[in-house]
């Protein structure tokens, strides 16, 4: 076997090796530790892009860990969707890491870089795994790292939000395990592809159990994605996290959406009896409510970071409106919007931090304060991020929303979906305009802003995020062709089952 054959496991191995190294060298040689951390992120980006190039022709790589054949051992599956999520994670990680290094946020505790690497390991593993229990394990890895990262910097507000965040996620993990236990008892397998084939054979008297298990599993993913009734944990957590960390967390809700997209067509597809497309009737209403709650929150938010957190909920809602169609077109549009909304949310969190660092006691409160350094330039950054988050031209949010509107127009409930998307866009625009004018136009009080903040270096990370969004808009044709192909591949579970159970099963 050459190194290329082992490509699918590298995104898990690289951070898994980097994290302990960083942990060991950080106290004595912080520069070396930071270098390792940055190098690991670059290596991840390179690996992800190589993987993406290999799968872009439609092949599905099934990597049997330890050469244990497929339904018995653990497989990693790299297809278009997984490769896309890996590239997105790596880009986001580099941006967040750059911001943490430039602003010195990583020096507020010893273990920022180690936790950051473990977080990346969990994210990459969750995107790659083809095994349901392994998905749980990687969820736990990324959650445990996220608890540490979320508390990074400490302080009473973070600790209080941290307790709630941890408790909610522990309950979520318990539900995940219950769902897994039921599915294993019913199908006798944990491999997603294998389970997808076996659910059809579940006897009629067990259909009720199957349906309960499927709904439990979907609820857990909905909790991670912060969909409407389960969104309450998100705002407080994200708003008090260190902004560089919050920017990385922008992809955490997308892990829930990804799991939904991955598991539902593969396991609970057409042949699943009582569990066929089980979340379908609930997903669209829940998605619309979360879009409305999210953008209403953008409208009433008291600070820029809180606003960014609400924008995460709103964008996840918009994304799920597209996913709820379960058609190749709408899912393709949704995946394009997923990439966009992750970067847009990260840009919002970073701009909020840039503002807070210059306004002293005013922080990122959505109230007028004294004039602060580089206000004009930052106002432009905020405007660009707001344009991206609400989905106005010329950035990629507009194209994403346009694709979603176009694709859901073919579905039966399109009127509701259009109403929710267009209405929330309007509320979002007004909300961002209100906060933006309060922070950047109005002036109250005399120069209490800390002087001497002359560096512009911390503008780099949000600017890069916005540049990526512009690139996403410029390359929209290529990207949306890729996401359409990824959606078609996800909705054809037979293809991936063949790849997993025959290639890796030898």
Partner 1 sequence: MSYEFLVASAIGVLVAGGIYLALRARTFQVVLGLTLISYAVNLFLFASGRLVVGRPPIWDKAVSQYTDPLPQALVLTAIVITFGMTAFVVILSLRSFLETGSDHVDGDNVPCDAQDGMAGSTAEDGEDTRP
Judged by beta carbon, residue 94 or residue 178, the one nearer partner 1 is: 178
Judged by beta carbon, residue 154 or residue 437, the one nearer partner 1 is: 154
**How far is the C-alpha of 504 from the C-alpha of 500, rounded, in Å?**
5
**How far is the C-alpha of 32 from the C-alpha of 43, rounded, in Å?**
16
Judged by beta carbon, residue 234 or residue 485, the one nearer partner 1 is: 234
**How far is the C-alpha of 103 from the C-alpha of 334, rounded, in Å?**
33
Judged by beta carbon, residue 100 or residue 179, the one nearer partner 1 is: 179
Closest distance of CB 155 from partner 1, Å? 8
- Cβ neighbours around 474 below 10 Å, total: 12
Mark residue 400 as left, alpha or beta (left: phi above 0; alpha: psi -120 to 50; beta: remaining). alpha
Closest distance of CB 133 from partner 1, Å? 6
Distances (CA, A) of 49 to 28, 83, 371: 34, 8, 43
Judged by beta carbon, residue 61 or residue 136, the one nearer partner 1 is: 136
The angle that helices 396-408 and 328-358 make with each other, rounded to 10 degrees, is 150
Judged by beta carbon, residue 499 or residue 501, the one nearer partner 1 is: 501
What is the SS3 string spanning 342-363?
Answer: HHHHHHHHHHHHHHHHHCHHHC
Closest distance of CB 43 from partner 1, Å? 28
**How far is the C-alpha of 23 from the C-alpha of 174, rounded, in Å?**
30
Closest distance of CB 175 from partner 1, Å? 9
How many Cα atoms sit within 13 Å of 83 on the Cβ side? 29
Close Cβ partners of 313 (under 8 Å, ≥ 6 residues apart): 226, 231, 234, 235, 253, 290, 293, 294, 297
Structure tokens at 4: 């290329």
Footprint of partner 1 (CB under 8 A)? 133, 137, 140, 144, 147, 151, 154-156, 159-160, 162-164, 166-167, 170-171, 173-174, 177-178, 180-182, 184-185, 190
Contact 14, 32 (CB under 8 A): no
Judged by beta carbon, residue 147 or residue 418, the one nearer partner 1 is: 147
Question: What's the burial of 6, exposed, middle or buried (CB within 10 Å: 0-12/13-18/19+)?
Answer: exposed
Judged by beta carbon, residue 174 or residue 367, the one nearer partner 1 is: 174
Closest distance of CB 163 from partner 1, Å? 5
> Which backbone phi and psi does 491 adopt, to 5 degrees?
-80, 5
**How far is the C-alpha of 129 from the C-alpha of 379, rounded, in Å?**
41
Judged by beta carbon, residue 12 or residue 322, the one nearer partner 1 is: 12
Judged by beta carbon, residue 159 or residue 444, the one nearer partner 1 is: 159
Judged by beta carbon, residue 72 or residue 478, the one nearer partner 1 is: 72
What's 360's DSSP letter?
A: G
Closest distance of CB 69 from partner 1, Å? 15
Structure tokens at 116: 């950051």
**How far is the C-alpha of 253 from the C-alpha of 223, rounded, in Å?**
9
Closest distance of CB 188 from partner 1, Å? 8
Closest distance of CB 44 from partner 1, Å? 25
Closest distance of CB 268 from partner 1, Å? 19
The H-assigned helical ranges of 199-303 are 207-225, 232-240, 243-249, 252-267, 280-300
Structure tokens at 245: 């960390």
Closest distance of CB 126 from partner 1, Å? 15
């Amino acid at each position: 076997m050459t190194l290329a054959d082992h490509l699918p496991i590298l995104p898990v191995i690289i951070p898994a090796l980097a994290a302990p190294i960083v942990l060991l060298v950080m106290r004595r040689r912080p520069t070396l530790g930071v270098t390792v951390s940055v190098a690991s992120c670059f290596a991840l980006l390179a690996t992800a892009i190589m993987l993406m190039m290999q799968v872009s022709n439609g092949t599905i790589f099934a990597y049997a860990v330890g050469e244990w054949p497929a339904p018995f051992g653990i497989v990693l599956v790299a297809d278009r969707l997984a490769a896309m999520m890996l590239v997105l994670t790596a880009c986001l990680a580099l941006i967040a890491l750059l911001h943490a290094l430039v602003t010195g946020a990583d020096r507020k505790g010893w273990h920022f870089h180690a936790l950051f690497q473990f977080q990346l390991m969990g994210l990459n593993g969750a995107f790659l795994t083809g095994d349901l229990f392994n998905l749980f394990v990687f969820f736990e890895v990324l959650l445990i790292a996220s608890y540490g990262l979320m508390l990074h910097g400490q302080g009473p507000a973070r600790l209080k939000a941290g307790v709630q965040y941890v408790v909610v996620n522990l309950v979520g993990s318990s539900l995940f395990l219950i769902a897994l236990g039921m599915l294993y008892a019913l199908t006798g397998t944990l491999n997603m592809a294998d389970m997808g084939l076996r659910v059809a054979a579940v006897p009629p008297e067990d259909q009720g159990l199957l349906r309960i298990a499927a709904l439990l599993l979907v609820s857990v993913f909905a909790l991670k994605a912060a969909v409407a009734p389960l969104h309450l944990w998100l705002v407080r957590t994200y708003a008090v996290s260190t902004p560089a960390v919050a920017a990385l967390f922008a992809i955490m809700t997308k892990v829930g959406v990804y799991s939904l997209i991955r598991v539902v067509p593969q396991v609970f597809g057409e042949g699943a009896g009582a569990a066929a497309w089980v979340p379908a009737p609930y997903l669209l209403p829940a998605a619309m409510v979360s879009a409305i709650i999210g953008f209403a929150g953008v409208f009433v938010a008291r600070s820029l970071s809180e606003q960014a957190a609400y924008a995460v909920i709103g964008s996840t809602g918009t994304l799920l409106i597209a996913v709820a169609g379960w058609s190749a077109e709408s899912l393709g549009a949704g995946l394009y919007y997923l990439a966009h909304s992750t970067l847009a949310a990260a840009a919002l969190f970073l701009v909020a931090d840039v503002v807070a660092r210059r306004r002293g006691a005013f922080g990122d409160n959505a109230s007028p304060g004294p004039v602060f350094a580089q206000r004009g330039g930052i106002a432009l950054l905020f405007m660009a991020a707001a344009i991206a988050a609400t989905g106005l031209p010329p950035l990629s949010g507009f194209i994403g929303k346009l694709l979603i509107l176009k694709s859901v127009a073919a579905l039966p409930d399109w009127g509701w979906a259009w109403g929710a998307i267009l209405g929330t866009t309007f509320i979002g625009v007004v909300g961002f305009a209100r906060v933006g004018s309060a922070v950047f136009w109005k002036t109250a009080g005399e120069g209490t802003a800390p002087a001497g903040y002359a560096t512009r270096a911390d503008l780099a990370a949000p600017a890069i995020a916005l540049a990526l969004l512009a690139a996403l808009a410029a390359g929209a044709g290529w990207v949306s062709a890729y996401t359409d192909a990824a959606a078609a591949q996800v909705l054809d579970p037979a293809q991936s089952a063949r790849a997993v159970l025959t290639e890796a099963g030898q």
